[in-house]
Amino acid sequence: MSTILITGGAGFVGSELGKILVKSDHKVKLLDNLEYGYRDNFEDNDELAKSFILADVRDADFSKYLKDVDIIFHFAGIAALPECETNPVKALEVNTTSVANVLHACRNSKVGKFIFASTSAVYENNDPETPFRENMQVFPNLIYATSKYNAEQICKSFAQNYDMDIVICRFFNVFGPHQDFRRKYPPFTSYLVREILAGRKPTIFNTADVKRDYIYVDDLLEYLTRIMNSPKHYCAEIFNLGSGYGYSATEIVKSLFDIMETPLDYNTGDPNTFWDKYDNLFNAAYNLNRKRICKEVYKHCIADTKKTVNEFNFSPQINLIEGLKSIIKFQRQ
């Protein structure tokens, strides 16, 4: 039995991982500052509720949270791209500097493995070379992707210079129940289900045949557990965690209306205006480049999963339709 610390543990992926690790008899501690996460993601589980740590990954004395910890999943982060552009210093502190902070604290602890949640967004300027392989040179330049890429470099530094066992997981679009549909601008699938169930027309900004990789949360959790249980020592090795399948925005919307047996009905938005709701990106002396936003809205993003599938002997099992059905069921409840 291991003691596992999950930072960002009140968020979507962290809380779901916590629940399955507790079931497999591990001692699990979730740590979160609750800025984007929710207590009700884990409070129905007594063990997780009792051991929850309300704390910030930027805490300069982070080692106090590492007593007896064997494994860390570092998931705390600011994931929304426009929020990172709006507050780049905070994004870098949380997404990059906190990785150095936690790894530095690990040097005086018995933590044996550090598993980091990076993102497929690091491939944002590799389009149209999709599917993306882990060994491709990447050229991120938006703040979110840059902050995660910098964090990957920090992981490499600690793995190479201190012989720490570190795994970098590049998550593609993870979807499933418990993904935050309450925030003002939720992730795509949760947003669509919320709007359709509320009887509102969702707005789609990208009706072109541009495909993105979606991995269902249970498949992602299976990978994370296999990574955790691997006896190998990894030197900041990178693994794509995706399904290898791409779906366009319109395919997803059509599937949802089909599943709900409701006539297809949505608005089409101008991709140029996608981030206009974030006023301060467009009212300064230097404004966010419109061409860059359009490129972001139209980007292809599919994982080459060969390396991950071979290494962990597992392929994702749950397809888009099954995954969407469980989100609908969850949001209906």
Q: Note the residues at the interface with ligand NAD (CB under 6 A).
A: 7-8, 10-14, 32-37, 56-58, 75-79, 94, 117, 119, 171, 173-174, 180
Q: Which residue is nearest to ligand NAD (CB)?
A: 11
Question: Rounded to whole angstroms, how far apart are CA atoms 312 and 227?
Answer: 7
Identity of the residue, 39 or 307, whose beta carbon is nearer to ligand NAD in the bound complex: 39
Q: Phi and psi at residue 108, in whole multiples of 5°?
A: -110, 30
Question: Rounded to whole angstroms, how far apart are CA atoms 30 and 4?
Answer: 8
Identity of the residue, 119 or 308, whose beta carbon is nearer to ligand NAD in the bound complex: 119
- Report, in Å, the least distance between residue 179 CB and ligand NAD: 6
Instruction: Tell me the residue type at 255.
Output: S
Identity of the residue, 158 or 171, whose beta carbon is nearer to ligand NAD in the bound complex: 171
Identity of the residue, 180 or 222, whose beta carbon is nearer to ligand NAD in the bound complex: 180
Question: Rounded to whole angstroms, how far apart are CA atoms 112 and 179?
Answer: 29
- Report, in Å, the least distance between residue 79 CB and ligand NAD: 4
- Report, in Å, the least distance between residue 265 CB and ligand NAD: 26
> Going by C-beta distance under 8 Å and a sequence separation of 6 or more, which residues neighbour residue 91?
78, 83, 84, 143, 144, 147
- Report, in Å, the least distance between residue 16 CB and ligand NAD: 8
Cα distances (Å, whole numbers) of residue 333 to 23, 38, 154, 272: 23, 17, 41, 35
- Report, in Å, the least distance between residue 116 CB and ligand NAD: 9
Identity of the residue, 180 or 219, whose beta carbon is nearer to ligand NAD in the bound complex: 180
- Report, in Å, the least distance between residue 188 CB and ligand NAD: 9
Q: 94 with 148: CB under 8 angstroms? A: no
φ/ψ region of 163 (left if φ > 0, alpha if ψ in -120 to 50, else beta) reads: left
Q: 264 with 251: CB under 8 angstroms? A: no
Half-sphere exposure of 255 (CA within 13 A, CB side): 16
Identity of the residue, 58 or 104, whose beta carbon is nearer to ligand NAD in the bound complex: 58
Write out the two tokens for 245. Answer: 């399948």
Cis, peptide link before residue 140, omega less than 30° from 0: no
- Report, in Å, the least distance between residue 12 CB and ligand NAD: 4
Identity of the residue, 173 or 305, whose beta carbon is nearer to ligand NAD in the bound complex: 173
